Amino acid sequence: MTFHTLKKWLSGAVTAFLFIILIFMVLIVISSKASGGEPSIFGYQFKTVLSGSMEPTFQTGSIIAVQAVNNASKLKKGDVITYKIDKTTTVTHRIHEVKGTGNQTKYITKGDNNDNRDFKPVLPENVEAVYTGFTVPFVGYFMHFAQSKEGTALLVILPGVLLLIYSVIMIWKSFKEIDRHKKKEEVSSTDA
């Protein structure tokens, strides 16, 4: 492989990488805005961990994948659930105890890192999702930022600007290469 071929291949790889990053960022932003919060992909919703109540199961700043629950009255002790405590706040804790059955079911929850159980029992209708076991550390900080107005603007605009700058540099280099070849041809034609 010649240097010129390697350079051309690297150029294409960098362009493809920047384009993929741009598309990925746009998808994350659109998914976040469409769902009104965390992004949702292939039926999995990604939640940002904002507290240490479930450490070491998942760390603060991680993202976790949760899946919607069809029948919340069938959950069992040990399941990690995401539930609403009010209109705007959700919590993800482990079911410590199940009380009652059917329509009378109530879940007593507790964060793995908490000393005490949660104050209020969770009703099945307040359960939104179950933790799938998928966690990515530290990405939650990024996701939380992506949901802000500034983050949305930065994540959509920055990859596009980087791709544009890279394209301008590559065009400039191409013109320079063409100019160099023309000068070389002029010199060889005057020598003949």
Active-site residue set: 51
Number of H helices, E strands in the chain: 3, 7
Question: Which is it for the CA torsion 128, 132, 137, 143, positive or negative?
Answer: negative
Contacts of 85 (CB under 8 A, 6+ apart): 91, 120, 126
Distance of alpha carbon 167 from alpha carbon 154, whole angstroms:
19
Instruction: Please report, for residues 14, 23, 50, 173, the alpha-carbon distance to residue 168 in angstroms, rounded to integers and kept in the order given.
Output: 14, 20, 41, 9
Phi, psi of 129 (to 5 degrees): -160, 170
